Each structure stands twice: as structure tokens, then as C-alpha cells.
Amino acid sequence: MAHERTDSYLKDSIGVLRYYKNLAERAMAQCSDSALFETLDAESNSVAIVVKHMAGNMRSRWTDFLTTDGEKPDRNRDTEFEAPATTRAELLRQWNAGWDIVFAALEPLADADLTKTVYIRGEAHSVMQAINRQIAHYPYHVGQIVFLAKHFGSDSWESLTVPRNQSAAFNADVAAGKKSQR
């Protein structure tokens, strides 16, 4: 993803979220179908569980974002960690449905909306604080997805960022304008 300089908090926030969405998608694309549903141990989550949780969180937080509490009464967070999707197609449908809600809520916002008050679990947040909360939350889980995909992809893993032991070459390409810094 090409980094674009901006002074717009909203534009940057949307760009950061799109970057992490894409990062997770590139990681999931390297997973075999079966690896999407594997766990490391009984206490770990699979990629499918992480996706289900993120999609549930996204639906709850961003549906009617400016007008209703971000913790919807019909959300049962505990069930997000049970019975995940069973196919790649269903997992990606959940994933994309969640992100569609995020971007549908964020893209119409204007700078004047940043100081409005929204609620999450009854706690007041400025719109900017609510966005920051999710910018901290989603990359945390994207990191889990990348970790699992890399673990299960092992020898066939292709780096999503700067490949190991190639920083100097990468930096030279960036300086020559051949690659994005992000």
C-alpha cells in the first residue's frame, strides 16, 4: 500500500484501516483452507475465530455509529469465539461484511464529526477516540492472523512487508523511488 501524506485524521484513519485489512487478506491468501481453521492449542484461536470476532465487533461498533451505543444489545461476544465459519468463502463473507460496515460508517464523516460524542458500553467517547480505539483493536487481531498464517505457511511463506535480511535492498529501492515505504 502506498503511503499518502495527509493532514486529514479521517483520511489517514481510513487508510490505516484499509492497510491492515489488506495485510490480513494477503496473509489469509497464503493459508491453505484447512489452516484457516487450525489452532495452536486448546486455548488459541484459529484465523476463522479471529475473523468471526472482528466481524462481530465491527458490526456492533460501526452500525448506526453516531446514533446508537457501539455495544449492540444483540451482540453476544462470547459466541464470537465459538463455531466459526467452516469454509474459506464463508469466512471471507464475514470478513468483508464487517469491513463494509466500518467503511460505510467512516467514509461519510467530516472533520466536524470528530468531536461528536458516541458511546461504547455506555462510556462516552469522542468520535476520534472511538476511531482510535478500533485502530488499536483491529491491528492487534490482524497481527494474530498474520502470525498464524506465517506459522502454518512455514516454508512457503512470502513476506508481507520487508523480507528478512533484505532491509538494505528494500531501503535502496525506496530511496530510488521503486517501492513504497509502507
> What digits encode the pLDDT tens for the residues 42-82?
999 999 999 999 999 999 999 999 999 999 999 999 999 99
Domains of the chain plus CATH, in order, are 9-175 (1.20.120.450)
Is the pLDDT at 140 greater than 50? The verdict is yes
Confidence grade of residue 174 (pLDDT, cut at 50, 70, 90) = low
pLDDT, tens digit, 9 for 90 and up, residues 86-137: 999 999 999 999 999 999 999 999 999 999 999 999 999 999 999 999 999 9
Task: Output the 3-class SS for the chain.
Answer: CCCCCCCCHHHHHHHHHHHHHHHHHHHHHCCCCHHHHCCCCCCCCCHHHHHHHHHHHHHHHHCCCCCCCCCCCCCCHHHHHCCCCCCHHHHHHHHHHHHHHHHHHHCCCCHHHHHCEEEECCEEEEHHHHHHHHHHHHHHHHHHHHHHHHHHHHHHCCCCCCCCCCHHHHHHHHHCCCCCCC
